[in-house]
Amino acid sequence: MKYENIAQIGQVIRSMDFASTDEHYIQGTVIDKGWILHPETGHKIFKGYTIQIEDEGPHGGARVGDTGYVPFETTFDFENRVQLAS
């Protein structure tokens, strides 16, 4: 999958919301990677990163402290959608 090998558990990633801007994203430490499970039924939804959200850029903030899910690949992928944060 396109972004499966970008990061390992313990590394910080940034996941861009839109291809046209670098101001809308979530960023955080990878706490797990692999299948993302539905919270109620436990069914597999998609493969991706589970992160502890630490930053949302200049236009966010409401999700800081929450758990976020970043797919390894999507149907609307674009270059640099997922990247290691420096």
Domain assignments of the chain as residue spans, ordered by start: 1-17+29-57+69-74
d(CA 26, CA 65): 11
Beta-carbon count within 10 A of 76 CB = 7
Q: Assess whether pLDDT exceeds 80 at residue 86.
A: no
User: Which pLDDT score, from 0 to 100, does residue 59 have?
Assistant: 82
Q: Which two tokens stand for residue 14?
A: 């940034």
How many Cα atoms sit within 13 Å of 40 on the Cβ side? 0
User: Which pLDDT score, from 0 to 100, does residue 21 have?
Assistant: 87
Beta-carbon count within 10 A of 8 CB = 9
Residue among 25, 1, 35, 36 nearest 84 (CA) = 25
User: Which pLDDT score, from 0 to 100, does residue 38 have?
Assistant: 94
